[in-house]
Structure 1
Amino acid sequence: MAVLRVRGFALPEGEPVDLYADGDRWTSDPVPGAELVAEGWILPGLVDAHTHPGANAPGDPLDLDILKGDLRAHLDSGVTLIRSPGLADDPPDWFGQSDDSPRAFHAGPWIAQHGQFMPGWGRRPDPADMPAVAAEQAARTGWAKVVIDWKPGDEVMPVDVLREAVRRVHAVGGRLAVHSQHAAGGAVAVEAGVDSIEHGMGLDPALLPLMAERGIALTPTLSAITEHLAQILADPERARTNWHVPGASVHRRLAAAAVEAGVTVLAGTDSRPHGGVAREIRALVAAGISPHEALAAASWTARSYLGLQGLVDGAPADAVVFAADPRADLSQLDQPQAVIVRGKRAHRRPDPH
């Protein structure tokens, strides 16, 4: 197999690099005969930290053909790493391992309370059993995902139950993500010391410094929430009564405040079609976050949070290369020059347009 080579300016520092894919690891030691596949501005791969591939609609079973297509769409967009905090079922062994897939972390099926979450999806253990279920999942895949609040008026998961889940998950070396879209749920999540809050709509901004101190990440799924808000506001009657409006209306400010407070913010799309991480990056920038920080949330910061190094010797051989600096021109995100994952070039499908 030919050794691949990339050359250019590596983000985040923008320093010149010349890297060779020695199997699945980068090296700066020259390899004779290496194939120069791209020159330009190099990122250590894009990351979608909140995506649920494999099912067309909420409640649908996991479909392997849909899963393959979704993963390929991520890869075509320059995403070389995904985190799936919840799937319709346990994925096959090739998930995140095949040549047509980004690397992948996942939390298996969601864990929810009785009477909450999407019918047909997830597990609903009794509260006393939930910490053990979460720990068993994290021991298998590194992550567990718990839905701690759902609709207005639904019971928020008790903090003692969630705190015990965190303790048990950490004891097996795993991490715990939680779905929260109400202020009460966000408060419980921070108090319990979870590892990441997904969505976080309605989160009290006063909790952001404590999140930063405790290393609790926020994945605001900003593009999905703001696009849904726009649909609601298009119908004045619906806008007057829909519970999403107050939290969604200030969600941009929350995301920007989180970055300002030093919270690790992760880019996640939570939407179909897959491969739309560029929309999330643009949504973060529209919220007032600098292009550098928005790209960090979708690349080097997210990779570091998930335990992968960037463009250094010995790091996983992943990269996406752009002709120009995407921080200065976000349109570059729509046209990667090359995508490399596991030391191999991902051949992009032709643009249907």
Structure 2
Amino acid sequence: MIVRVRGRALPDGEYVDLYADGDRWTTDPVPGAELVAEGWLLPGLVDSHTHPGAEAPGDPMDEEILRADLHRHVDAGVTMIRSPGLPGEPPEWFGADPELPRAVHAGPWIAQHGQFFDGWGRRATHAELPVLAAAQALRTGWAKIIADWSVGDEAVPPDVMTAVVEAVHAVGGRVAVHSQHAAGGDAAVAAGVDSVEHGMWLDAGHLPDMAARGTALTPTLSVFQSSLAAARERENSPRKRWFVGGAEAHPALVVAAAEAGVTILAGTDSRPHGGISAEIRALAGTGLRPHDALAAGSWAAREYLGLPGLVPGAPADAVVYAEDPRTDLTQLEHPVAVILRGARVR
């Protein structure tokens, strides 16, 4: 079937009539095309921080679980994912299966010795980090560094992080950095990484520099909010104070980042997969305009990852809703149709 969709296309709300010519949108009528949906059109949702493929931290990559996780993303309207860290090198069909989301990934995480989940990622000395990161980025375009981990751990030093960024950028790649402590955020921003993942306890004074350099923030807000109530009930400890204090301050950081001009990306981080609508609603709950929260999970994220929106020549992805989802973000859970690579997959 040759797919045709029409309606008001976000972000501008202009009326469009689009035909899928293979995996590209065109406004030129394509013989035999069938109108499959009409309404409000998004260029396809994006989950910019997701780790599919394993049931629990430390478990090896499981292809059956990976497929199931990715199908949940599609059911939620996600047509593109970025996975800054995977349980292992993914199979060849990852990102290429016509029924599953497009994907970019950073391969397994890269961490300092003694940090991160046992069984996952690669451990490296400071001298080895730039070499490992550059080799990974050369293969897949991205490398993911764990800048900091548990309370009391030493973060990756700024000069080492700078060497990582220089090595990765030299091969044309990009660097994503896990940071949930102030020192890790300091090192990441000073080095000019491409995205800060989580960013809990990030010094708001860094935000103008991030905006100027094009460093994105993926706050994974909903996963912190879902754990906050239980964390408040735990016995007092340094870890509790770290998590509760950081999670409580995180919404204000997101708002300040957006006001400073930092690109905000919507990412869900943890299981269960397919929760992008909850993350977009969480972003809106901080005080972001629904338009901007939706951008973080759609057109702005696609632009950051190099994909244009609903214009001729763009990849033929779209999610169609009966009404403007900006007026009621719960509509994200009820798409009329999901179009992926020019075919209706839901």
Q: In which range does the TM-score fall when normalised by the shorter chain?
A: over 0.9
Q: CA deviation at 1:32?
A: 2.4
Alignment of 1:155 onto 2:143: no
Tell me if structure 1 keeps the 8 A contact 2:276–2:297.
yes
- In the aligned structure 1, how far is the partner of 2:120 from the partner of 2:137? 18
Q: CA deviation at 1:239?
A: 7.7
**TM-score where L is the length of structure 2:** 0.98
Cα deviation digits, residues 149-174 of structure 1 (max 9, x gap):
01111111011111111111111111
Q: CA deviation at 1:33?
A: 2.0
Residue 195 of structure 2 aligns with which residue?
196
- In the aligned structure 2, how far is the partner of 1:230 from the partner of 1:265? 25
Alignment of 1:237 onto 2:235: yes
**TM-score where L is the length of structure 1:** 0.96
- In the aligned structure 2, how far is the partner of 1:220 from the partner of 1:331? 20
Residue 212 of structure 1 aligns with which residue?
211
User: Partner letter of residue 221 of structure 1?
Assistant: T
- In the aligned structure 1, how far is the partner of 2:234 from the partner of 2:266? 30
Cα deviation digits, residues 268-318 of structure 1 (max 9, x gap):
001111000000001001111110000000000000000000000100000
Cα deviation digits, residues 59-83 of structure 1 (max 9, x gap):
0111110000000000010000000
Structure 2 residue runs of 5 or longer lacking an equivalent are: none
Alignment of 1:319 onto 2:315: no
User: Partner letter of residue 222 of structure 2?
Assistant: S
Structure 1 stretches of 4+ with a deviation exceeding 3 A read 238-241
Alignment of 1:96 onto 2:95: yes
Residue 121 of structure 2 aligns with which residue?
122
Alignment of 1:221-300 (within 5 A): 221-233=220-232, 235=233, 237-238=235-236, 242=240, 243-300=242-299
- In the aligned structure 2, how far is the partner of 1:239 from the partner of 1:137? 37
Residue 70 of structure 2 aligns with which residue?
71
Residue 170 of structure 2 aligns with which residue?
171
Structure-2 change in CA distance of 1:191 and 1:341 (3 Å): same
Q: CA deviation at 1:238?
A: 4.8
- In the aligned structure 2, how far is the partner of 1:69 from the partner of 1:99? 14
- In the aligned structure 2, how far is the partner of 1:196 from the partner of 1:43? 24
- In the aligned structure 2, how far is the partner of 1:307 from the partner of 1:19? 20
User: Partner letter of residue 314 of structure 1?
Assistant: G
Structure-2 change in CA distance of 1:67 and 1:241 (3 Å): closer
State, as a whole percentage, how many aligned pairs show the same letter. Answer: 66
Structure-2 change in CA distance of 1:141 and 1:297 (3 Å): same
**Count of matched residue positions in the alignment of Structure 1 and Structure 2:** 345
Q: CA deviation at 1:206?
A: 1.1
- In the aligned structure 2, how far is the partner of 1:334 from the partner of 1:231? 26
Cα deviation digits, residues 312-345 of structure 1 (max 9, x gap):
0100000000000000011210100110111111
